[in-house]
Amino acid sequence: MSTWNVDELPVHTVYFGGGTPSLLPAAGIQLILDEVSENFHLSDNAEISLEANPGTLSLDYLKDLRNFGINRLSLGMQSAHPGELALLEREHSYFDVINSFTWARKSGFDNINLDLIFGLPEQSVQTWKRSLELGLGLHPEHFSLYSLTLEHGTPIGSWSAKGLISQPDPDLAADMFDWASERLDKSNYTHYEISNWTNNKTSPANGHSSEFSCQHNIQYWRNLPYLGCGAGAHGYFHGVRTANVLSPVAYIQRMSAGKIDQLRGIDQPTHIEEISRFPDQLGSHHQAEFRGSPAAINSERIGRQTEMDETMMMGLRLVQEGVSNQAFHDRFGISLDEGYSEQITLLRSQGLVEWVPENSASLRLARKGILLANRVFVEFIS
């Protein structure tokens, strides 16, 4: 096996995530993409995504992004209701969403996601339905629907703790999720991950189907390697989980003072795709060398049992695919039953997971398990 440098590392997705990357001037996005192309082996059909707040976009900006190679846009619509947007401290309106979506189409984007949030304090079923219906009217290729989580330190979390707004109603949120699932199914969207739906369109020109599930996030859900670049970014590579310093100023200082040499000297696998499939089969003496970039403030070696547990918890989020028995065996050398017999037996008896097909090719969440996913995941915490 030959050694290789970071510039030969294969990359099939690039994701500009939040904060709000659309606040960065288009020229800045281009510079980053140029660096990626120079320093990595970027595949010709790579999925390159950018998250954007609707109120930060213009037609010229979107045209520039598309020309630079951004081919997937994720718009943070969140809601069509002004009061709900104010609660979330969003400055855009639904009219901004319409404008941004229209400009994106004019700029050549044919892969657009809309983010929406349900389960908000004092949110009614009627306003939730209206938001999703208005989103459907734009005909995006993808929807991400997230239930609100109140986090400590956020304004909405503080307001709820002080009793200034009501606590979210989990039963009402479950009803909203059920309705949305049925509504999206009727509109030919496939529910492929707990919070994500894709519309796999067929081109009238050639009859071929286009895949619009988020390939970058699927990398996470299959518990495969990814590099975290930028302030606050997290990564998982060569069996090591990394976290970068949060402050952009500190990130720049650390990167300027350090040397990006942690990826050098990694053994090249026989097949280049194996770096994504079998990250821990490349030699432990080389794994120990990887500690992330100079900006990493934390790096943690993930043991085999933890990797197995996380593969189950993440993989079960893929509600159609689940966790493949064969892929699990290829990666860890044991079957799902050998690794988790008691957990699977218990969860099956409760109607939360199921084998598909019945010959145990894959384990996935049952319909009931989708609504009670955390109850399932806790069984895979060692």
Query: Quick check: 353 and 365 in contact, CB under 8 A?
Result: yes
pLDDT score recorded for residue 206: 45
Query: Quick check: 109 and 71 in contact, CB under 8 A?
Result: yes
According to CATH, what is the number of the domain 3-218?
3.20.20.70
pLDDT score recorded for residue 194: 97
Q: How many CA atoms lie within 13 A of 251 on its CB side?
A: 14
Which residues are CB-neighbours of 251 under 8 A, at least 6 positions away?
A: 230, 231, 232, 244, 245, 295
Per residue in 335-356, is it b (16+ CB within 10 Å) or e — as a string?
ebeebbeebbeebeeeebbbbe
Tokens of residue 66, six digits: 């598309």
pLDDT score recorded for residue 261: 47
Q: Which residues of the chain have pLDDT under 70?
A: 1-8, 151-153, 157, 202-210, 259-291, 358-359
Give the torsion sign (CA, 147, 152, 158, 163): positive
pLDDT score recorded for residue 113: 98
Assigned CATH topology for domain 313-380: Arc Repressor Mutant, subunit A (1.10.10)
Sheet with strand 296-301: strands edge to edge: 234-237, 240-244, 296-301
| Cβ atoms < 10 Å from Cβ of 155 | 10
* Residues 153, 155, 160: CA angle, nearest 5 degrees: 95
Tell me the domain boundaries of the chain: 3-218, 223-302, 313-380
pLDDT score recorded for residue 168: 76
C-alpha to C-alpha distance for 211 and 376, rounded to whole angstroms: 29
Residue count of the chain, please give it.
382
pLDDT score recorded for residue 122: 85
C-alpha to C-alpha distance for 90 and 21, rounded to whole angstroms: 15
